[in-house]
Amino acid sequence: MPTRTLTKDLRAHIGREVRIQGWVRAIRDQKRIQFLIVRDHTGLAQAVVERAEGRADINQTIAALTRESAVTIDGVVVENAVVKTGGVEVQIRSLRVDNLADPLLPLDPSGPTEPNPEVQANWRYLDLRRPESLLIFQIQTAIEHAMREYWIREGFIELHSPKLMGSPSEGGAEVFELEYFGRPAYLAQSPQFYKQMAMAAGFDRVFEIGPVFRADPSFTTRHSTEFTGLDMEMSWVESHEDVMAFEERWLRYTLERVKAQFGDAARETFGVEIVVPEVPFPRVPMGQAQEIVARRGHTAPAERKHDLDATGERLVGEYAAEEFGHEFAYVTDYPVDVRPFYHMRHPSNSAITKSFDLLWRGVEIATGAQREHRYDVLVRQAKEKGLNLEPIQFYLEFFKYGCPPHGGFGAGLARMLMVLLKLANLREATFLFRGPTRLSP
């Protein structure tokens, strides 16, 4: 008997005794009868008990109960069309208070208004009790699952690369430094070098879903200092086009799966329609992107006229939506000066890289490229960027003993979730947000 029944399954247990477990969302304690609304991760259920001599203990417990307490209820499921929680209710036989909640909640998960961001962050576990919060992470699980499924089906190997590094992977300004047994170490801001090392190792195709760290003091709704990176790298590509072609099919599959599982829930809770994108996605070379942006009346600051700023990206997103009816757009052919040294350059035009960004509804969600796999060219490009070769020598060595041509991309999980569900802020799509001013809980 003490097998737990989820609230969503009560209808299948009419007339039988069940145990439900969850949080007290509401207490309606009346003279003759007492109602509890109990929430678990699958929904709401009403539990009811009449005030009577034989149930004085239960009646008393309920009189002293508080909202958001954790309870276990045993009782019989009865059908009652009047009841708004699914037309069924549980007639309480016994009630156990597993954890009584303090009556003064710092954050009310079923309250009429949303608390301030700071209150939400400080009491994140109460904030996460809101069903819409739960749904975000159920959808995140489905996304990750579908992505991993597609990768594995395509012959990829899953990688877990180290996050502690002896030298900053590239550049250096945006890397966290920490003390490592008396010498400096750095938190990986990308698995870039290691996934390329797997190419040199002959793994052919790899992916990694793991934490990445960025020491940028960014204050926007779409940045954090620690997030889950989605990275992949594939060997024997002819160009970055092969990578883009993979990525768009991977995304189409993922959204297909997520829509099938959560399309209705996403519509009801967030008012968003999950669209399974057509492939190929629209492609917009940087030169054309600049024209589109200019035509739409936006002028980027002179010093970054080779790149797209956030507004520019939004406008290219609008363009893709209007011209192609598409939520996604690849921006390709970024100039050398706005790309890292390891991006391969076009053989016909060395000022342009074989790289791309992927925009979703005008928000940058991924960056990719074909990598430079020729040792001497790579060294030349690193020098050109003014890099100190010594700390990256281990990386450069990958390309001295037979490394296949390869390419890949990196994307951000929370950022994709934010765009998918049209959330106002990345932190809603992050279990525990880390930012320049947020390091706890």
CB burial of residue 174 (10 Å; 0-12, 13-18, 19+): middle
Which residues, 6+ apart, have CB-to-CB distance to 200 below 8 Å?
Answer: 398, 399, 401, 402, 403
Nearer to RNA, 32 or 183 (CB): 32
In the complex with RNA, the residue whose CB is nearer, 108 or 144, is 108
CB of 131 vs RNA, minimal distance in Å: 14
| Residue 208 near residue 229 (C-beta atoms within 8 A) | yes
How many angstroms separate the first and last alpha carbons of the chain? Answer: 38
CB 376 within 8 A of CB 344: no
Closer to RNA by Cβ: residue 229 or 405: 229
Residues 6+ apart with CB under 8 A from 439: none
Amino acid at 127: D
Structural tokens at position 320: 């893709």
Between residues 406 and 415, which has the closer beta carbon with respect to RNA?
415
Cα(425)–Cα(382) distance, integer angstroms: 36
Place of tokens 């039988």: 16
**H/E element, 285:** strand 283-285
Min dist. Cβ of residue 78 to RNA (A): 8
Compute the least distance from the CB of residue 107 to RNA, in Å: 6
Nearer to RNA, 27 or 185 (CB): 27
Of 213, 224, 227, 120, nearest in space to 435 by CA:
224
Residue 400 C-beta: closest distance to RNA, Å: 26
Strand 205-213 to 157-158 pairing: parallel
Phi and psi dihedrals of 400, rounded to 5?
-105, -10
Q: By C-beta, is 167 or 430 nearer to RNA?
A: 430
Distance CA 355, CA 372 (A): 11
Residue closer to RNA (CB basis): 139 or 358: 358
**Could you tell me the smallest distance in angstroms from the CB atom of residue 388 to RNA?**
19
Residue 384: CB atoms within 10 A of its CB come to 10
For 309, phi and psi rounded to 5 degrees? Answer: -90, 180
Query: Of 121 and 234, which has the nearer Cβ to RNA?
Result: 121
Give the count of alpha carbons within 13 A of 162, CB side only.
9
Nearest-approach distance from CB 262 to RNA, in angstroms = 21
**CA nearest neighbour of 4 among 37, 34, 42, 46:** 42
For residue 256, the minimal CB distance to RNA (Å) is 21
Least distance (Å) from RNA to the CB of residue 50?
Answer: 7
Q: How far is the CB of 53 from RNA (least distance, A)?
A: 16
Residue whose CB is less far from RNA, 307 or 327 = 307
